Amino acid sequence: MRPFILLLTILLISINFLSCENSKEPMTLIESGISKTLAEQRKANIDEVKYNIKFTIPNQLEKAINGENTISLNLKNIDSDLVFDFRNEAESVSLVKANGKEIPPQVENEHVVIPKEYLKKGANEITIHFTAGEQALNRNKEFLYTLFVPANASTAFPCFDQPNIKAKYKLDLTIPSEWVTCANYPLIEKKENENVTTYHFEETLPIPTYLFAFAAGKFQKISTTHGGRKMTMYHRETDEDKVTNNAITVFDLHAKALDWLEDYTGIPYPFEKFDFVLVPAFQYGGMEHVGAIFYRQRSLFLEESATVNQKMSRNSLIAHETAHMWFGDLVTMDWFNDVWLKEVFANFMAAKMVNPNFPEINHDLRFVARHHPAAYSEDRSLGTHPIQQKLENLNQAGMMYGRIIYQKAPVVMNQLEEMMGKEKMQEGLQEYLKTFSFGNATWDDLIAILDKKIDMDLKTWSQAWVKESGMPHYEAQLKTENGKIANYNLSLKNKSSGGNIWSQSTAFVFSKNNKIERKSLIINDKEMDVDFLKGKDTPDFILPNGSQSGYGYFELDKKSQSYLLENIYSIDDEIIKFVAWQSLFESMLRGKIEARDLMNTILKSLPHEKEILGLSARLNYLEEIYWGFLSVEEQQQFFPTLGKDLWALMEKSKTKDIKKNLYNTFVSIAQSEEDVNVLFEVWKKTKKISGLKLSENDFTTLAYELAVRNYKDSDNVLQEQLKNITNPDRKVAMEFIIPALSNDVATRDAFFEKLKAKENRQKEPWVQRALSYLHHPLRADAAEKYILPSLELVQELQKTNGIFFPKGWTSTILNGHRSAAAAQIVNEFVKGLPEDYPNKLKNKILQSADRLSRRASIQD
Ligand SMILES: [Zn+2]
């Protein structure tokens, strides 16, 4: 596959060179993708862009989708040719007209070129007839949907695929008459002609290509009106109870989010309509297309047994996507290097919105639970990068996304708000949105607005937190004399910090006999003594960071660490407990605490956990240590009754959420014959768990878990489970995953081979689920041989799959492994990468390999 693609590229380039030599005027070879230079040239010369796009979508998957795009635009000069982006074969362009005159189609290295002699200064009209490339059209038998972020609109139709050439779109869609459709703007009219219907949509306000979207197919439609605003939801769920149980809440959450945002921003919802489409196996949780948000169906239609956590996640997702209508859609980044900005705002707003809906929840705890562990998982790795990255070509834009953007940036934004105050921050954001409405803006534009509002050097702060990489590592040293503190010192340990000191404000905490004292502390030096502690009685423990706003690895002094390993469960304050746990876990990752000691601390604390967020964080640590850091011998020798203990704790627990979390961990770690039999009995429904209702997905998971443990009758279990599934989308998902679970190695090998073809990797959530079993720790030895060829595929995945897939792929694979040999494979692969290997992609691999390489270095 790979050599073939390479060959094709070389061939293409040489043909282009040949044609250069033959033509009268020498042409420059246009770089593939969208280089920053091309984007800047176009932005300077082109405005007032309107696309009039027509697509004809046939019923049969094998028939091509034909399109026409008539683009009107204004040119400030005609010194150079006009270059459209179109990442499809040259033959797919069948006709080009420039200002009424048909001209020979000229397609060069992913671009359609209109020579300057056919152009004029001022208004121009270009018409292009083409066959659509299907990479971003997600065609299925009964439906299709577009997903153009970050720069994939140009795979489907010729356009200026950069975020700062915003355009008005007028879409005409011809589809089979039994289908329905949803696009960015309302329908004007539809005309039926035999078996097909043409839908004419209203012209949009200026939006970037990555937010232009439509879905079409066999969808169910439900509409409702909230405060005079009509909303329509499209979905493909066949379980009517599930739809009834969820629909009202889903509409209501959207309506509340819209009201909240109108109020916070002082700007009414900026677009014409507001609908959403629920797509089975959608690549992301959601995507904020103007007026037509697309979601993964499962993220919004929850099971009846859904936990409070899942409900909050749904609420956050809805709030996040709705916030994008202002942050991202109304004001768009200038270039994809600032993609983090729209994401951080969406998360930041979502956190503000979701809180009042769950008064029973400790939101500071939720913030720290949702952000810090995930952010640290990438920021501590060798593949870390600054929040704001450099981006030379949009064909690398998909690699900008990750936890540094989604989880670290909100922590940084929170610190900014803390320094500015909530009101000043809101004022600043309102000014930013008003100033740049329907246009584009950069992070520096925002900092310039905020800088005027406070007395602080925001530029230096932004340099450390936004423009440079890594997380601070502070080490604490405690000296005591006669039961009193002689000195407490914090020092920055980062080797490559340069001038960075990551100034931040934290809550300093010290505790004696369960009496906690807090003091705010500003850390703004590489080395500092905490003077207010001098002479105090030696406390049980000290935490330099005891709040949700601090960020970094705070390595505790030895006395505090050993106290907490024994007694952490007795801390009442959930935030303090959470950040203390983080310090211990980070120390375990660095070999400063034994994995099995921390495991014992977790087991000791579980019966005391009353707060679901705390409990689930501890259970995550448990699973991570159990599968990632303990050898099989250690598992058996030191934790022989782990399953039994978890089960007993689950039976005793009163709350549904806590029960479900303990149940999930039991399913994950069950290994003894007795525990595996329990899995079977639960699946067979001969064993019931009082107070816990399991869903169809839970039973499917049980069937998978039995199979991966080579349970005696697992083939029949899988087949029977498959028969029990009625929803056709879930049925095909299971059929796809089953071969990855086979206890026949040849079947698993064949499954892995299949993944090398891009058409078998389209359903990304299915692929990831299958990979998690293919590389399950229990089968890691046999799966080691897949690691290298999987890593070799990563560069291709970046071209053929969604933006989160390369990281998802490598993490899912590497998280199953813990052997030194596996770490070695990754190591050598990374070392052997050619110099021109995309650095951002290498970072994704290094991020994914963090746990594996830490485990290997601890073993050394
Ligand atoms: Zn987002």
Instruction: Say how many Å lie between the CA of residue 834 and the centre of ligand 1.
Output: 33
Separation of alpha carbons 506 and 517, rounded Å? 13
Instruction: Say how many Å lie between the CA of residue 673 and the centre of ligand 1.
Output: 44
For residue 2, name the pLDDT band (cuts at 50, 70, 90). Answer: very low
Instruction: Say how many Å lie between the CA of residue 562 and the centre of ligand 1.
Output: 41
16: pLDDT strictly greater than 80: no
Instruction: Say how many Å lie between the CA of residue 342 and the centre of ligand 1.
Output: 7
What long-range pairs does 370-374 form, CB within 8 A, spacing at least 24?
Answer: 370/316, 370/407, 371/407, 371/408, 371/410, 371/411, 372/407, 372/411, 372/548, 372/551, 372/579, 372/582, 373/582, 373/617, 373/620, 374/403, 374/406, 374/407
243-276, pLDDT tens digit by residue? 999 999 999 999 999 999 999 999 999 999 999 9
Instruction: Say how many Å lie between the CA of residue 321 and the centre of ligand 1.
Output: 6
What confidence score (pLDDT) does residue 187 get? 97
Separation of alpha carbons 815 and 491, rounded Å? 32
664-694, pLDDT tens digit by residue? 999 999 999 999 999 999 999 999 999 999 9
Instruction: Say how many Å lie between the CA of residue 35 and the centre of ligand 1.
Output: 24
- For residue 23, give the 3-state DSSP assignment: coil
497: pLDDT strictly greater than 60: no
- Average pLDDT score over residue span 578-593: 97
Instruction: Give the containing element (helix H, strand E) for 198.
Output: strand 196-201
Instruction: Say how many Å lie between the CA of residue 418 and the centre of ligand 1.
Output: 23
What phi and psi, each to the nearest 5 degrees, are found at residue 248? -60, -45
Instruction: Say how many Å lie between the CA of residue 573 and the centre of ligand 1.
Output: 32
What confidence score (pLDDT) does residue 29 get? 62
Q: Map 135-170 to HEC letters.
A: CCCCECCCEEECCCCCCCHHHHCCECCCCCCCEEEE
Kindly report which listed range (306-310, 461-465, 741-745) carries the lowest average pLDDT score. 306-310
- Average pLDDT score over residue span 120-129: 98
Residue 115, Cβ neighbours under 10 Å: how many?
Answer: 16
Instruction: Say how many Å lie between the CA of residue 801 and the centre of ligand 1.
Output: 18
**What's the mean per-residue pLDDT of the chain?**
92
What confidence score (pLDDT) does residue 27 get? 47
360: pLDDT strictly greater than 90: no
777-830, pLDDT tens digit by residue? 999 999 999 999 999 999 999 988 888 899 999 999 999 999 999 999 999 999
- Average pLDDT score over residue span 498-517: 87
Instruction: Say how many Å lie between the CA of residue 257 and the centre of ligand 1.
Output: 15
DSSP 651: H
361: pLDDT strictly greater than 90: no
Instruction: Say how many Å lie between the CA of residue 163 and the centre of ligand 1.
Output: 15
- Average pLDDT score over residue span 573-585: 96
859: pLDDT strictly greater than 70: no
Q: Map 826-842 to HEC letters.
A: HHHHHHCCCCCCCHHHH
Instruction: Say how many Å lie between the CA of residue 483 and the centre of ligand 1.
Output: 52
Instruction: Say how many Å lie between the CA of residue 447 and the centre of ligand 1.
Output: 21
Instruction: Say how many Å lie between the CA of residue 346 and the centre of ligand 1.
Output: 6
Instruction: Say how many Å lie between the CA of residue 273 and the centre of ligand 1.
Output: 19
Instruction: Say how many Å lie between the CA of residue 844 and the centre of ligand 1.
Output: 19
Ion ligand 1, residue ranges at CB < 5 A: 343, 346
Counting residues of the chain whose pLDDT is more than 70, the rounded percentage is 96
499: pLDDT strictly greater than 80: no
Instruction: Say how many Å lie between the CA of residue 771 and the centre of ligand 1.
Output: 26
Instruction: Say how many Å lie between the CA of residue 93 and the centre of ligand 1.
Output: 33
Instruction: Say how many Å lie between the CA of residue 322 and the centre of ligand 1.
Output: 9
Instruction: Say how many Å lie between the CA of residue 564 and the centre of ligand 1.
Output: 37
183-200, pLDDT tens digit by residue? 999 999 999 998 999 999
